[in-house]
Amino acid sequence: MSDKRDLNSTPLLEVSNLSLGFTAGGRTLAAVSGLSFAVAAGETYALLGESGCGKSASALALMRLLPAAGRILGGDVCFEGRELFALPETEMRGVRGGGMAMIFQEPATSLNPVLTVGRQIGEVLARHAGLTGDAAQKRAEKLLAAVGIADPARRLNEYPFQLSGGMKQRVMIAVALAGNPRLLVADEPTTALDVTIQAQILDLLQDLQAEREMGMLLITHDLGVVARMAHRVGVMYAGELVEEAAAADFFATPRHPYTEALFAALPDLSRRGSRLQTIAGQVPTLAAMPAGCRFAPRCPHAWERCRSESPDWSVAGDGHRVRCHLLSEADRRSPVATVVAEAAASTVAASVAAEPVLQVADLKVHFPIRRGILQRTVGHVRAVDGVSLNLTAGRTLALVGESGCGKTTVGKAVLQLLAPTAGSVRLDGREIAGLSRRELRPLRRRMQMVFQDPFASLNPRLTVGEIIAEGMQALLGDARKSAAEMQAAIAALLAQVGLDAGAVDRYPHEFSGGQRQRIAIARALAVQPELLICDEPTSALDVSVQAQILNLLGELQASLGLAYLFITHNFAVVEHLAHEVAVMYLGRIVERGTVEDVLRQPQHPYTKALLSAVPSPKPATGAGGSIIRLPGETPSPSNPPAGCHFHPRCAFATAECRERYPDERALSATRVVRCHLYR
C-alpha cells in the first residue's frame, strides 16, 4: 500500500451513474442507484458494504451477468475506453474473462463439479489466448504454479471435490487469470474461508496484482480485509455509494456517519465490558427507500434536510468525498455520537471463585468411518479428541478455532445432542454424560444453546410465542402454568431481549436476522438456564447487528449471571466478550488462558499464526507485530498427522513434535499450553 499511484491517468474501469434493479411481481425495485467510481490499472478499489447493499449485484452488472430478474436501469460502464453496455453480446464475451475476470465467494459451488481443473482452465485459454493442446497444458501448469498449487501437473487432472477449500479458491483465481485480464473483480473472495487460508489468498491476490499490474475491484463487508488490501475504498449503503476515499484517509478519518458507526460497532479489546455502539433500526428494504438521505432514519445527526433532500457529493479532502449534508453544515453534528465508555464493566468480576457450572474432562467424540463391502468401521473421525474445560457462573469461555477443528461438536456433546465417545461432562457437579433421555430431562433446562444461523434455528411454521413456549412446556411443564401466566412470561422474555410484545403472534419470516437471533436467545432463556452455549451466534450477521447481539449477551450475563460457552472463529468478538479463551486445533485444545494472556501474548505457534492472520481494521496497529503465514491447510481429522497434529505447518517443529503429542503444560495458574516448545 506504500506505493503512490498516479490516479489522474485514464482509469481502467469507469462506472458512472449505474442504476440497476430487480423485477418481482411485475414491478422493478431499484437495488443500486447512481453508482459512480473508477478503478485504475494496478489499483485495488474496495467496495465495502453490509449484506444487501447492492455491491455484488453491481459487480455482476459490470460483467453483464445479472440474474434473469436483474435489470440495468441506467448508467455507463467504460472499460478500457469501451462502453460495455453498448457492446453486442459476442464482443462482451471477449471482455468477460479476457478483459475483466471475476472470482466468487463460494469456491465450492463456483467450479463445475464434473470437469477437471485442467479442462476448466483450458476453456479460458482456448477462448481468450487461442491455446489448445500441449501449449494450453503448459500454460495451465504455469498458472497453477503461479497461484501456489504444488504439483500442478497432477492437479490439472483432478476434480474440484478432490481439492480443499483454499485450493479451490486458488484454482478459481487461476481460471480468472488464464485470460490475462486487466481487471480482476473479486466478490468476497475470502468470506467462505478460514482466517489462515484467507491470509494466504489475500497475499496471493496482492502479489499477483502487483506482478501483473492488474486493476482489482474487491467487494467485501470486512473492514479488516479492506485495510489489508485496498488503495481506495468506496462505502455502499442501501444501493448508494456514500463515501469514497484513499485507504489511509478512510481509516484515519472516516467522515460519513454510517462509516463512523461501522467502526464504532466493531468489537475489540479496548471496548471490553462496555456497550458497543449500534446503529438503530435496519437497512431499508428495496420497496421502502427513504426519500432523502437513505441513512437518515438511522443517523444520530439527521435533521429535516436529510429526510427530504438526498445529499450530493461533498469533497472532504484529496480524493475523499462524502455524501452527507454534515459536510456543509458541520455544526449540525450532535455530540451523542461518541458515547462509548459506559461503565458496566465492573459487575462482571463479582462472581469468580464459585464452583464451576460446567466441567468437561477429556471429552472425546469420534465418528466411525465405514468402508468396504460390509461397511466395517475402518477408522474414526476424531472430531473431538480429549477436551477439558471449566466454566464458572457469570463467566464467558470462548472456544476458538477454524472450521473443522471440532468446536461445534464440543458444544453439542456438552448439551448431549451428540453422544460423547468418552470423557465426562459435569453440570453443577453432576455427571451427565451417558444419562438416559429421561434422566437428562430435568437437567436440560440448566443449559441451552443459541445457534449460528438465525434463519435455520426458528421453525418457520410456528409463531414466535409458540417457539418460546416450546421449551417452557417441555421442561417446566410440571408447573402447569395457566395460559395467562404463560403469555405474561413470554412477554417478559421478549422485553428482556428487546423485542416488542406484539411479536408473539407473528412468524419468524417477518423478522430480520438480528431480531431472529433475539428470538432464539429468548427461547433459550425461557427455561432459565445457567449455562448458555453460543455457537457462532453472530457470524451470520452484519457488523452493526452483531454489535446489538453482543451488547444483549453482555447485559444478560451481567443481570442473570449466565455462564457462556462461546464458540467462534472471530477474535474480535472474543476480545470483546470473553474472559477466558481456549484455542482448538484438530479436536484438541492447544492453548488455554485468560483473554488478556492469550490474545496479548500467545504462546502456541498456532495461536500466534491465527492471531497474526486476522486482518485488522486498524492498519497502523496491525503492521506492528511479525507476520506469520501458515503453510498448507488443516489436515482431515480422520487422519491427523502423527505426533503433534500441528507439526507439518509449524515453523518450530522438531523431531520430538513428529513423534509425540505434547502434554498439557501449565504456564501459570490460568494458562495451559500443549507444545514441546514449553517444558
Partner 1 sequence: MQPVLLWSDLFIWLLVAAGVIGAWWSARQPLLAAAWARVGRSRPGMAAATLLAAFALVGLLDSLHYRPQLPAKDGEKAAYSIEVLSVLDALLTPLRTRVEKTYSAPLATRAYAKEMLEIRQPDGSVVKQRDYPRLRHGGAALGDDEGRAGADIAGRALRALAVAALVWLALCALVARRIAGHGAPAAASIEPAGEPLAFGAAWCRLWRGDTAFAWNAVLATLGIVLAIACVLAGLAGEYHVFGTDKVGQDVLYQVLKSVRTALVIGLVTTLVTLPLAVFLGIVAGYFRGWIDDLIQYLYTTLNSIPGVLLIAAAVLMMQVVIDTHPQWFATAAERADLRLLALCFILGLTSWTGLARLLRGEALKLRELEYVQAAQAFGVSDLRILGRHLLPNLMHIVIIALVMDFSGLVLAEAVLSYVGIGVDPTMISFGTMINNARMELGREPVVWWSLTAAFAFMFVLVLAANLLADAVRDAFDPRMAR
Partner 2 sequence: MLAYIVRRLLYAIPILIGVNLLTFALFFVVNTPDDMARMQLGVKRVTPEAIEKWKAERGYDKPLFVNGAAAGVGAVTETIFFEKSARMFAGDFGRAEDGRDIAREIRTRMVPSLAIALPTFVLGLFVTVSFALLLAFFRATPLDFWGVVLCVAMMSISGLFYIIGGQYLFSKIFRLVPISGFGEGLDALRFLVLPVLIGVVSGIGSSTRWYRTIFLEEINKDYVRTARAKGLSETAVLFGHVLRNALIPILTGVVVVIPLLFMGSLLTESFFGIPGLGSYTIDAINAQDFAVVRAMVFIGSVLYIVGLILTDISYTLVDPRIRFN
Query: Which residues bind to partner 1, rule: CB under 8 A?
Result: 25-26, 287, 412, 415, 417, 437, 440-441, 444, 447-449, 451-453, 456-462, 470-471, 474-475, 507, 509, 520, 523-524, 527
Stretch 450-489: interaction string toward partner 2, x if CB under 8 A: ----------------------------------------
Partner interacting with residue 441 (select from partner 2, partner 1, none; CB below 5-8 Å by kind): partner 1
Binding test (CB under 8 A) with partner 2, winner from 7, 29, 127, 263: 127
Partner interacting with residue 457 (select from partner 1, partner 2, none; CB below 5-8 Å by kind): partner 1
Please state, in angstroms and rounded to a whole number, the distance separating the CA atoms of residues 117 and 171: 7
Q: What minimum distance in Å lies between the beta carbon of 64 and partner 1?
A: 23
Based on the number of CB atoms within 10 Å of its own CB, is 227 exposed (0-12), middle (13-18) or buried (19 or more)?
buried
CB of 244 closer than 8 Å to CB of 224: no
98 versus 273: smaller Cβ distance to partner 2 = 98
How far lies 634's CA from each of 207, 386, 645, in Å?
23, 18, 9
How many CB atoms neighbour CB 436 within 10 A?
7
Partner interacting with residue 328 (select from partner 1, partner 2, none; CB below 5-8 Å by kind): none
DSSP for residue 179: T
Q: How many Cα atoms are found within 13 Å in the side-chain-facing hemisphere of 184?
A: 28
CB of 255 closer than 8 Å to CB of 327: yes
Stretch that binds partner 2, among 61-69, 237-245, 467-475, 664-672 (CB under 8 A): 61-69
106 versus 203: smaller Cβ distance to partner 2 = 106
Partner interacting with residue 341 (select from partner 2, partner 1, none; CB below 5-8 Å by kind): none
Q: What minimum distance in Å lies between the beta carbon of 86 and partner 1?
A: 32
Is residue 35 part of the contact set for partner 2 (CB under 8 A)?
A: no
Residue 262, all three cell numbers: 461501522
189 versus 529: smaller Cβ distance to partner 2 = 189
Please state, in angstroms and rounded to a whole number, the distance separating the CA atoms of residues 169 and 632: 13
Stretch that binds partner 2, among 36-44, 60-68, 351-359, 660-668 (CB under 8 A): 60-68
Stretch 79-118: interaction string toward partner 2, x if CB under 8 A: -----------x--xxxxxx--xx-x-x--xxxxxxxx--
How far lies 205's CA from each of 18, 98, 183, 184, 343, in Å?
27, 18, 12, 10, 43
Please state, in angstroms and rounded to a whole number, the distance separating the CA atoms of residues 617 and 259: 12
Q: What minimum distance in Å lies between the beta carbon of 451 and partner 1?
A: 4
4 versus 27: smaller Cβ distance to partner 1 = 27
Helices and strands in the chain, H and E counts:
23, 24
Binding test (CB under 8 A) with partner 2, winner from 30, 40, 124, 553: 124
60 versus 560: smaller Cβ distance to partner 2 = 60
Q: Is residue 371 classed as helix, strand or coil in its secondary structure?
A: strand
Closest among 496, 415, 404 to 450, alpha carbons compared:
415
Q: What minimum distance in Å lies between the beta carbon of 527 and partner 1?
A: 7
Stretch that binds partner 2, among 370-378, 565-573, 619-627, 648-656 (CB under 8 A): 370-378
115 versus 456: smaller Cβ distance to partner 1 = 456
Residue 533, all three cell numbers: 452455549
Partner interacting with residue 115 (select from partner 1, partner 2, none; CB below 5-8 Å by kind): partner 2
Residues 130-159 that bind partner 2 (CB under 8 A): 159
Please state, in angstroms and rounded to a whole number, the distance separating the CA atoms of residues 103 and 178: 12
Binding test (CB under 8 A) with partner 2, winner from 287, 288, 336, 373: 373
| Residue recorded with cell 434493479 | 21
327 versus 440: smaller Cβ distance to partner 1 = 440
Please state, in angstroms and rounded to a whole number, the distance separating the CA atoms of residues 218 and 202: 11
161 versus 652: smaller Cβ distance to partner 2 = 161
Binding test (CB under 8 A) with partner 2, winner from 3, 4, 8, 68: 68
Stretch 168-187: interaction string toward partner 2, x if CB under 8 A: ----x--x---x--------
How many CB atoms neighbour CB 622 within 10 A?
16
Q: What minimum distance in Å lies between the beta carbon of 90 and partner 2?
A: 8
Please state, in angstroms and rounded to a whole number, the distance separating the CA atoms of residues 524 and 146: 50
Based on the number of CB atoms within 10 Å of its own CB, is 418 exposed (0-12), middle (13-18) or buried (19 or more)?
middle
Please state, in angstroms and rounded to a whole number, the distance separating the CA atoms of residues 286 and 294: 11
337 versus 443: smaller Cβ distance to partner 1 = 443
Specify the DSSP element, H or E, that contains 102.
strand 100-103
Q: What is the dihedral of CA 71, 56, 549, 492, to 10 degrees?
A: 20
Q: What minimum distance in Å lies between the beta carbon of 604 and partner 2?
A: 34
CB of 452 closer than 8 Å to CB of 537: yes
Residue 316, all three cell numbers: 472532504
Residue type, 415: L
Q: What minimum distance in Å lies between the beta carbon of 29 and partner 1?
A: 13
Specify the DSSP element, H or E, that contains 369.
strand 356-371
Is residue 640 part of the contact set for partner 2 (CB under 8 A)?
A: no
Binding site for partner 2 (CB under 8 A): 60, 63, 65, 67-68, 90, 93-98, 101-102, 104, 106, 109-116, 123-124, 127-128, 159, 161-162, 172, 175, 179, 371-375
